[in-house]
Structure 1
């Protein structure tokens, strides 16, 4: 189901300024940039092999159990809600293949789930910032895989709170267990871990 962008609300001027600043930095500053309600998040380290391998394995395992008209996509473009002033880049997004068509960022309302692999250099971005932002964007299911600890969690059931929309349900898992993300259950066997410092 394709969802038209929300044109009734314009993007905040502060958000527009941050987007323009990031555009001018493209390909000149290493790392990944995202925009949150709190400002710009810069993960200075490019993701390493365990991070990228986890994203690929989760994507492949999900696609094996999902219908052919859905995709577990890794890569670009970003997921953006300009009126809310948020631009994120999930490691894996689950959406209809038809919603891959077109130009520009993905509308977060078209996502069925988002998956993040925790960054070694900035874990709070995945465990705190995105836990706050993804329900605000209306992403119904958010799964976190943490190669530092071989654990993770799946959050769902968005509900209103005084601080804004939040996930009401959290199911923790450890690597080796099966995990259910939205309607699909996959194995977490064999997912890589980050090496301990000095290894």
Structure 2
């Protein structure tokens, strides 16, 4: 389906998520700025990766492709999807077309598959949150700590602090779907 239908496919506990809208320029600019800012402060052997492959935990039936994965270069070696337990953090830029996927579903799926830090940037509102400290609950693993921020604040993702100054917001133009 990936080759024939537009958009992106991911697998959650509920089933397949199909985001039909490709990311727009502001989404991609946010991703590029965050990647550069993270790589500026991280050690050389850690990367803020923005491409394929997916992050997958087959036993849980979850396959995702975060906007940015913070991972050691050594953990990128090998074939197939990344093991989510090797990630240092996952970063998502909220999609205008499906914000609940980032704010609700991934906030549940990421601790379930062992991603220790999840940072959410929301260009719709100029806000975000960093979730961390996985703990067990009756409903399964969840993040215990949530640190909200507004664009313009500095934010700490795992061990690294970056600025959120000058991150683009989604406008009201017709092409700003994502």
Which category describes the TM-score, using the shorter chain as reference length?
A: over 0.9
Q: TM-score, normalised by structure 2?
A: 0.96
**SS of alignment partner, residue 134 of structure 1:** helix
2:14 alignment counterpart:
38
Q: How far apart are 1:127 and its partner, in Å?
A: 0.2
1:154 alignment counterpart:
130
CA distance in 1 between partners of 2:23 and 2:148 (Å): 24
CA distance in 1 between partners of 2:61 and 2:69 (Å): 20
- Give a deviation string over 1:86-132, Cα, whole Å, max 9, x none: 00010000010111112110000100000000001000000000000
- Which runs of 5 or more residues in structure 1 are unaligned? 1-24
Matched, 1:77 2:53: yes
Matched, 1:135 2:135: no
CA distance in 2 between partners of 1:33 and 1:158 (Å): 26
1:10 alignment counterpart:
none
Q: How far apart are 1:29 and its partner, in Å?
A: 0.3
CA distance in 1 between partners of 2:168 and 2:2 (Å): 30
1:68 alignment counterpart:
44
Matched, 1:90 2:66: yes
2:76 alignment counterpart:
100
Larger Rg: 1
Q: How far apart are 1:140 and its partner, in Å?
A: 0.4
**SS of alignment partner, residue 139 of structure 1:** coil
Q: How far apart are 1:197 and its partner, in Å?
A: 4.8
| Higher helix proportion (structure 1 or 2) | 1
- Which runs of 5 or more residues in structure 2 are unaligned? none
Superposition CA RMSD, Å: 1.0
Matched, 1:181 2:157: yes
1:113 alignment counterpart:
89
CA distance in 2 between partners of 1:87 and 1:111 (Å): 14
1:16 alignment counterpart:
none
CA distance in 2 between partners of 1:184 and 1:173 (Å): 15
**SS of alignment partner, residue 45 of structure 1:** coil
Q: TM-score, normalised by structure 1?
A: 0.86
- Give a deviation string over 1:119-151, Cα, whole Å, max 9, x none: 010000000000000000100000000000000
